[in-house]
Structure 1
């Protein structure tokens, strides 16, 4: 990976995290819990995070709470998301 690719990757990550910070507090907490789960045992490439962020943003825009979107058991929600993905664990 060249320096330009590293710089572009960091720009994309910072833009992604800016979107996370713009989420309502309950959605942001759920996102960060799922992110933490993914970094520990989730998909090896973390490619689900942008889609997850889209999902939470759309839910927030529709007025749906984070628990309504993912349920009471965040780990079970994560397990369902990564069921068919290669994981680090």
Structure 2
């Protein structure tokens, strides 16, 4: 990654966070919880810029402009809202589980080769 890309990435992130800070307080709180949840669950695409997170801010800005409360936008189960957003995305957890399964299969194959 070039220095220019790093600088541009930081500028984009700062602009993104300025949009978050401009939201009503309840939206900011829920956004931060969504962000923590998504960083923990780890959809792989999340590291590709701020696309998913920007989409959430777009949705929140629209909801706030219509005078809706944040839970009217997300629903009362915010984790389910997040899960629905990433249901078709590959996560780091998926990658880890696949690697564990591969290693397990290798170990099983080696064990069965020894018994032959």
TM-score using structure 1 length:
0.95
Q: Which has the higher contact order (CA 8 A, sep 6+)?
A: 1
Per-residue CA shift, 1:9-64, capped at 9, x if unaligned?
Answer: 00000000011011001111111111001100042122310101100011001111
* Structure with the greater alpha carbon radius of gyration: 2
In 1, Cα distance between equivalents of 2:35 and 2:91: 14
Residue 8 of structure 2 aligns with which residue? 8
Residue 45 of structure 2 aligns with which residue? 45
SS of the aligned residue for 2:63 comes to helix
Alpha-carbon shift at residue 86 of structure 1 (Å): 1.1
**Runs of at least 4 residues off by over 4 Å:** none
Residue 68 of structure 2 aligns with which residue? 64
Normalized per residue, which structure has more helix? 2
The size of the alignment, in residue pairs, is: 89
Structure 2: stretches of 5+ with no match in the other structure: 94-116
Structure 1: stretches of 5+ with no match in the other structure: none
* Contact 2:21–2:28 (CA under 8 A) maintained in structure 1: yes
In 2, Cα distance between equivalents of 1:5 and 1:69: 34
TM-score using structure 2 length:
0.74
